[in-house]
Amino acid sequence: MTTRDLNGKNILITGASRGIGHTLAIELADTGAELILVSRGREALEELKAEIEGRGGKATALCADFSDPGAVFSLAEEIKALVPCLDVLINNAGQALSAPIEETGPGDWDRIMTINARSPYFLTQQLLPLMEASEIKTVVNIASVVATQGYPLQSAYTMSKHALIGFSKSMARELQERGYRVHVISPGGVNTQMVSGVRPDIDTDELIQTEEIAAWVLFLLQNCRNGMVDHIQIRRESKLPW
């Protein structure tokens, strides 16, 4: 198997300040990748940047609030001015919502769809020209098991992640001949603040750890030959198989 060298590659991670994004940033920094870290919280971003640099890594921190429909376009312009080429885009930023259908208002629905579906769509669209010259141009979209399982009280969240998978499928076929690799990872419950807020009933000891998700992302980015993985679904060990 050919192992891809990520040293010096420009990798963008959204939702980088906590949870999966935070762990992923630390793991990727150790490969020598040059990271562009995006999140809405400046203080947490700067702390992460300092942690990475303290380990000898390289990172740039950019703030963007994806609940603002225009944020991705401003962010894309910042990134275009920052690097001549982007190698990997990881659309990880997301927000959950737990509410009955009858209590999910238009404002809630719009916010969840803007963050989880609209933002990765247009951020990817705007950054494709920047990725075109890369030898390893790769998009990784972090979806969720809810996209295919459809859990109660998560209709808007489920809809947004289902849309993200649909976008990924279409994009993968559209860009295949141009050498792009498009991957989707759909985790079950992960030990993050977001999951704890939506499902406080779950024992955190049973949840998937962020390090496990980061390991799968690194596998996708570092290992490539003739085999191609489109979609990885990861369940909690305590859940029923299949």
Catalytic site positions = 157
User: Which 3 state secondary structure label does DSSP give 164?
Assistant: helix
Q: Would strands 34-39 and 138-142 be described as parallel, antiparallel, or unpaired?
A: unpaired
Contact call for residues 66 and 92 (beta carbons, < 8 A):
no
Contact call for residues 202 and 189 (beta carbons, < 8 A):
yes
Token pair, residue 70, equals 């225009």
Q: Cα angle vertex 64, ends 234, 134, to 5°?
A: 65
Amino acid in position 14: T
Token pair, residue 175, equals 């860009």
Q: Cα angle vertex 71, ends 68, 77, to 5°?
A: 170
Token pair, residue 207, equals 């949840």
Q: How far apart are CA 215 and CA 222, in angstroms?
A: 10
Contact call for residues 25 and 16 (beta carbons, < 8 A):
yes
